[in-house]
Amino acid sequence: MNHSSEYIRGFTEYIILSILSKFDSYGYEMTKVIHTVSDSYFSLTEATLYFALKRMEEDGQITSYYDKNKKGMTRKLYKITPKGLEELAHFRNDWKVIEQNISNLVGGGFDYYKDE
């Protein structure tokens, strides 16, 4: 099975918001979190990640700032905004229903009788 961003494409923004709800982060670190938490099952390309970050920043869900790391290198960090926290809370409220329905539809755990 191909382990790519295809599987999480519709959830990318919520995954980013979830990470940023725990701590401010930079792009490469977020890809490491996704890779590590999913036991290497999911990964995001840089293009997918940075396109989402740009869109989310333009929408006001996140902001960015520059900071120096321990080695003195400047990094662009992203921070969740109140709007982003609100979006994440709404999604988390819907998540159990989404997860159950996707599981039923994809896993075949549904009954449907076709009208003839």
Q: What is the pLDDT of residues 18-70, one digit of tens each?
A: 999 999 999 999 999 999 999 988 888 888 899 999 999 999 999 999 999 88
Q: Is residue 110 part of a domain?
A: no
H or E stretch at 80: strand 74-80
Contact between 57 and 65 under an 8 Å Cβ cutoff? The reply is no
pLDDT value of position 9: 81
Q: Is 114 among the domain residues?
A: no
Residue 116 lies in a domain: no
Please tell me the predicted confidence (pLDDT) of residue 85: 98
Residue 96 is assigned to a structural domain of this protein: yes
With respect to residue 109, please indicate whether it lies within any of the assigned structural domains: no
Distance from C-alpha of 44 to C-alpha of 52, rounded to nearest angstrom: 11
Tokens 């490491």 found at: 32
pLDDT band for position 105 (50/70/90)? very high
| Containing structural domain, residue 88 | 5-104
pLDDT in the model for residue 66: 97
How many residues in the chain? 116
Per-residue pLDDT at 1? 47
pTM given for the model: 0.86
| In-domain check, residue 82 | yes
Q: Is residue 113 part of a domain?
A: no
CATH at residue 91: 1.10.10.10
Domain count, the chain: 1
Is residue 2 over pLDDT 60? no
Distance CA 48, CA 56 (A): 12
pLDDT of 60 reads 98
Within a domain: 88: yes
